[in-house]
Amino acid sequence: MTDTHMIPRVVAYRWLAQFFLCPPDLAKLESYNSVEGRQFLTSLQYDPVLASPASWLKDAVANADTLAHLQARISSAFTGAFDMGGPRAALPYASVYLSDNGLLFQKPARDMIALLQEMEMQLPEGVSEPADHLGVQLQVAAELLEREEQGEPVPIPAVAFLDQQVLTWLPAFHQRCATLAEDNPIRIFADAAQALVQDTVHPAELCREPV
Amino acid sequence: MSIHTTKTVTRRGLLKGATALGAFSAFAPALLRAGAAQAAEAGDILSGSHWGAFNATVENGVWTKITPWDQDPRPTPMLEGVMDSVYSPSRIKYPMVRKAFLENGPGASPENRGSEEFVRVDWDTALELVTNELRRVSETHGPGGLYAGSYGWQSPGKLHNCQNLLRRTLNVGLDGKFVNDSGDYSAGASQIIMPHVLGTLEVYEQQTAWPVVVENTDVLVFWGADPVKTNQIGYVVPDHETYAHLEEFKKTGKKVIVIDPIRTETAKFFDAEWIPVRPHTDVALMLGVAHALYSEDLHDQDFLDEYTAGFEKFLPYLTGESDGTPKTPEWAAEICEVPADQIRELAKLFSDNRTMLTSGYAIQRQHHGEQSHWMLVTLASMLGQIGLPGGGFGLSYHYGNGGSLSANSVILSGLSDGGTAVEGMAWATETGAASIPVCRIVEMLENPGGEFDFNGTRATYPEVKMVYWVGGNPFSHHQDRNRMVKAWQKLETVIVQDFQWTATARFADIVLPATTSYERNDIEHIGDYSLKAILGMKKIVDPVFESRTDFDIFTDIATRLGAGEAFTEGKDEMAWIKGFYEDAAKQGPAKGVEVPKFDDFWDAGVVVFEVPESASQFVRYADYRDDPLLEPLGTPTGKIEIFSRNIEKMGYDDCGPHPTWMEPIERLGGNEPYPLHIDSGHPNNRLHSQLCGTKIREGYAVAGREPCVINTADAEARGIADGDVVRVFNDRGQVLAGAVVSDDIRPSVIRMYEGGWYDPVNAGEPGSLDAYGDVNCLTVPISTSKLAQANCGHTGLADVEKFTGDLPAVNVFEAPAGG
């Protein structure tokens, strides 16, 4: 299987995943101000599903009073959406949307743990999150896509995984994020995640300008 | 979605420009770690909780099912909520710091506590903040600056006793310089006065064994006690042995009387005679019975002469000789609304039969609550059956499955608080009390340097600037919430360590995420009184998110304070647990108990001890009755003190030297600022506020709110129907609740259980409407008296109206809003 997207989907999934897993630290933001960083973001801007977050990040890094301010702003958005409750909350866990009472660590988390075991993979170092965290799922999708591209066996095809274990709740998460302010980075990145997964599972449904 | 594209760029060009995939990987790394994942935990694990021992089924490292321990004779339905609590959306996931505190330091914008956003920090940052604050407050404000009384029910377990661990940290790391507390919220009045009367706490003592009661008691009275409800829980792991005995008693068909404004679970269980007494008038009712006993010569003068002291000084009060008011049944009937004839019948019934007068803590958790149990003991003394099989009184049949048979077990110690007693230290006299009565915390904050009386002593409140709370939720158990919200603003620093976003955590500056007791190993007894077994409280799942065990957190803080070795004594979690067990095992030979090796015990998960035959014949105070000279009580006279010279010497105007009817600050038929009495008893479906944030709530919440039971006539008069959302209000606060219209409650009384989570619509604003139903927004903040300084959690009147405004959402069962 050959990826013909503007930005390889493996890259797209991994780039988005890291943002959901942890807000970028100062070093990461500084790296986006480097030649390579700007070039990378420019590359992403040419991809329909990634253009919006890439543009936001590029502008934010370029125009921030200080990167520390930007980092604080992103962290605040991250905490407000992922770590807290209330109207600004959009918890990034499948279990919250697929279980009674919004409980954490339910069947979606168990399914993800089982899948990771089958893939002989573990959660990222230093990440103390349930396995059904969106960031983990996007990383798993990337891993499945990469293995498929390389002709390696996979426990489940990437598209099937995304369809059966991600699209079952991502729209609900996306909907929660849609209530956030338009310039809230969580909303911008959630838009992209929804579009990316949708594009992968149902490519024809995403309206895209020709490149 | 905004998509920016250009038709002149090709994919190949892009990839080339980005130096292809190699450059991408720096910005889009593969974060999953390769390699065989550690096999996730699976299987069944025996562990325990305040609700009983249970088996936890784990699948792929996740707890999926809970089933009662097969030796639990009557598991509680609340167990389901135990599992729920681990995965609740109200879990605290990471260390959090209130934004203003993080940016501007201690004391920044305290008025915003409860409403301001929190900022996630890493553990190192959080613990540096904590340690620096402990040092700063200690150095700047002295030992009176830090309050670590930290009260609450925490979780069972001999090691992760988080309140002990906190004090141990401060004892070894700050030389014990902190303010502690005395007593508890459960039985604060009784536990102070009973030692004067009986020489023991009495409220936490083993009771006459249930088989003795079943065989010998003719009339079983539950006076403000509901054991069917309250024995579901235990301070350790409950044995639930009571229920079989209650069944046995029920089978006898003997008389059961429930004296209570509510037709309780126990009343329904026994189909008992229900005497719906007016709240807060139990002492008057008891005096009426006592007067009938005396005036009709039904009392046991011989018992009074031989086993009690001071009846002759009480008698003039009873007869009215001393104050002109005979405490006749007619006098009592006017106050308590129990007919005088019925009071006389009770007196005759009690005296003609072997009568067990049992009481819970409710009738002492009210203004002048000391008098209730003192008068109950006096009444039992007049009946003369104390120390006889099935007669007398019992103050703990409702708690910890009192009266269950005591096993011949070895007894676990636990981690000590690591210090000498704080009381009496030199600094205490310079900076204020080293220990305050537990429920006086708001007075302490409001009135630094102010004097207070307590059980014959007089001390001054220290000027506390910092509070460290762990394993408790004062924003649930303390009275007059709105006054508390304001007082809390006087603090410079508030640290809360918990596993969930309690109301207290929401009003903190630094919040540390602890594990639940199901994410760590520990050891505990089964059976508060029976000590039936020792249970390995095994870890069920790994700590979720970034939570850490209490032992781990305090080890880190103690280490930062330079006292890590003194704190741990070089032992880790399992070494401590093994040590507790092996120390207990040393008692085995002397008790004739064979105790398995630790490894065998831990593999099995539990060791159950035999119950000796003698346990089923235990009669409380039988030894005293048999030989009062050789087995005297621990009172000054060695007898039951109906008149206490020690209390007389204290000279308190609100607690005299013998049991006395004293008008409470508010009551129906007395000072009645509002028309309805609030009965704020212990909940049937949770432990105080514990488990309120779980699925158990779905079984009792009404319109998503805490239920408010209201009598049919009272509801009709207010146009309230079953299921309506109502506003319950008085001068102290206002809460929303869901109406339950019922005739199981006497008119003019409403019942809202304590422990509903405080959910202010405008957080941090005193007087805000509470959207869920924390009854302590409505209760009075005063203490029982100068003697015990205990809380009056059941005192308070209010009114109810149908709520017709815009219904605010209930938000308290998830993490607080980000700001």
pLDDT digits over A117-154, tens only?
A: 999 999 988 899 999 999 999 999 999 999 999 999 99
B376 and B448 fall within a common domain: no
A102: containing domain: 9-203
For chain A, the average pLDDT equals: 92
Interface touch A85/B93, C-beta < 8 Å: no
Q: Which residues of B touch A46 (CB under 8 A)?
A: 4-6, 9, 14
Tell me the average pLDDT across B221-236. Answer: 98
Closest residue in A to B99 (Cα–Cα)? A76
Q: Which residues of B are catalytic?
A: 151, 153
Token couple for A125: 């170092």
Share of chain B above pLDDT 70, in %: 95
pLDDT confidence of residue B43: 87
pLDDT confidence of residue B1: 32
Tell me the average pLDDT across B746-770. Answer: 95
pLDDT confidence of residue B426: 55
Report pLDDT digits (tens) over B616-640.
Answer: 999 999 999 999 999 999 999 999 9
Chain B residues 461-520 with CB within 8 Å of chain A: 501
For residue A80, give the nearest of B6, B27, B819 by CB distance.
B819
The per-residue DSSP string of A169-198 comes to THHHHHHHHTTS-TT-HHHHHHHHHHHHHH
Question: Å from B770 to nearest chain A CA?
Answer: 16
Interface touch B5/A191, C-beta < 8 Å: no
Confidence of residue B431 (pLDDT cuts 50, 70, 90): low
d(CA B158, CA B523): 6
B519 and B419 fall within a common domain: yes
Domain presence at residue B508: yes
Going by C-alpha positions, the residue among A48, A19, A21 that lies closest to residue A32 is: A19
Share of chain B above pLDDT 90, in %: 92
B240 and B318 fall within a common domain: yes
**How many domains would you assign to chain A?**
1
Domain presence at residue A209: no
B576: containing domain: 96-182+414-524+539-599
Q: Is the pLDDT of residue A211 over 60?
A: no
CATH number of the domain within which B248 lies = 3.40.228.10
Contact B437, B789 (CB under 8 A): yes
Question: Å from B675 to nearest chain A CA?
Answer: 36
For residue B14, give the nearest of A46, A91, A195 by CB distance.
A46
Confidence of residue B763 (pLDDT cuts 50, 70, 90): confident
Domain presence at residue B20: no
Chain A residues 83-102 with CB within 8 Å of chain B: 83-89, 91, 95-96, 100-102
d(CA B391, CA B118): 57
d(CA A51, CA A56): 8
B401 and B418 fall within a common domain: no
Q: Is the pLDDT of residue B255 over 70?
A: yes
- Give yes or no for A155 touching B (CB within 8 A): no
Token couple for B471: 């394993």
Closest residue in A to B815 (Cα–Cα)? A85
Token couple for A35: 């030649």
β-strands B255-259, B219-223 pairing? parallel
Domain presence at residue A80: yes
d(CA B462, CA B465): 9
Confidence of residue B764 (pLDDT cuts 50, 70, 90): confident
Tell me the average pLDDT across B13-21. Answer: 49
B583 and B644 fall within a common domain: no
Report pLDDT digits (tens) over B111-129.
Answer: 999 999 999 999 999 999 9
- What Rg, from alpha-carbon coordinates, does chain A have? 17
B390 and B311 fall within a common domain: yes
Three-state secondary-structure class, residue A1: coil
B126 and B247 fall within a common domain: no
Q: How many CB atoms lie within 10 A of CB B809?
A: 12
- Give yes or no for B94 touching A (CB within 8 A): yes
Q: Which residues of B touch A135 (CB under 8 A)?
A: 31
Domain presence at residue B273: yes
Domain presence at residue A4: no
B139 and B251 fall within a common domain: no
- Detail the DSSP E strand segments found in B110-228: 118-120, 146-147, 180-182, 219-223
Report pLDDT digits (tens) over B316-334.
Answer: 999 999 999 999 999 999 9
pLDDT confidence of residue B213: 98
Domain presence at residue B693: yes
Q: Which residues of B touch A21 (CB under 8 A)?
A: 31
Interface touch B117/A83, C-beta < 8 Å: no
β-strands B676-679, B797-802 pairing? antiparallel
pLDDT confidence of residue A125: 87
Question: Å from B646 to nearest chain A CA?
Answer: 54
Domain presence at residue A61: yes
Report pLDDT digits (tens) over B129-180.
Answer: 999 999 999 999 999 999 998 999 999 999 999 999 999 999 999 999 999 9
B369 and B389 fall within a common domain: yes
Token pair 């007068």 in the structure block, residue: B357
Question: Å from A2 to nearest chain B CA?
Answer: 13
Token couple for B491: 């603090």
CATH number of the domain within which A109 lies = 1.10.3480.10
Q: Is the pLDDT of residue B38 over 70?
A: no
Tell me the average pLDDT across B460-487. Answer: 97
Confidence of residue A73 (pLDDT cuts 50, 70, 90): very high
Going by C-alpha positions, the residue among A10, A191, A32, A4 that lies closest to residue B14 is: A4
Q: Which residues of A touch B819 (CB under 8 A)?
A: 80, 84, 88
Token couple for B636: 């000054």
For residue A40, give the nearest of B4, B24, B40 by CB distance.
B24
Domain presence at residue B7: no
B703 and B563 fall within a common domain: no
Tell me the average pLDDT across B236-246. Answer: 98
The per-residue DSSP string of B290-304 comes to HHHHHHTT-S-HHHH
Interface touch B88/A116, C-beta < 8 Å: no
- Give yes or no for B649 touching A (CB within 8 A): no
CATH number of the domain within which B559 lies = 3.40.50.740
For chain B, the average pLDDT equals: 94
Interface touch A48/B32, C-beta < 8 Å: no
Closest residue in B to A121 (Cα–Cα)? B34
Report pLDDT digits (tens) over B530-567.
Answer: 999 999 999 999 999 999 999 999 999 999 999 999 99
Mutate which: B1, B19, B552, vs A, most A CBs within 10 A: B1
Question: Å from A107 to nearest chain B CA?
Answer: 9
End-to-end CA distance of chain A: 21
- Give yes or no for A126 touching B (CB within 8 A): no
pLDDT confidence of residue B188: 96
B636 and B545 fall within a common domain: no
B509 and B461 fall within a common domain: yes
Domain presence at residue A2: no
Question: Å from B759 to nearest chain A CA?
Answer: 12
pTM of the model: 0.94
Residue scoring higher pLDDT (B92 or B2) = B92
The kind and range of the H/E element at B545 are none
Token pair 């006749």 in the structure block, residue: B328
CATH number of the domain within which B713 lies = 2.40.40.20
- Give yes or no for B457 touching A (CB within 8 A): no
Instruction: Using alpha carbons, list the distances in angstroms from residue B408 to B264, B305, B405, B613.
Output: 34, 36, 10, 10
Report pLDDT digits (tens) over B343-398.
Answer: 999 999 999 999 999 999 999 999 999 999 999 999 999 999 999 999 999 999 99
- Give yes or no for B22 touching A (CB within 8 A): no
pLDDT confidence of residue B357: 98
- Give yes or no for A190 touching B (CB within 8 A): no
**How many domains would you assign to chain B?**
3
Going by C-alpha positions, the residue among B303, B393, B285, B402 that lies closest to residue B344 is: B285
Q: How many CB atoms lie within 10 A of CB B670?
A: 14
Q: Which residues of B touch A31 (CB under 8 A)?
A: 26-27
Domain presence at residue A63: yes
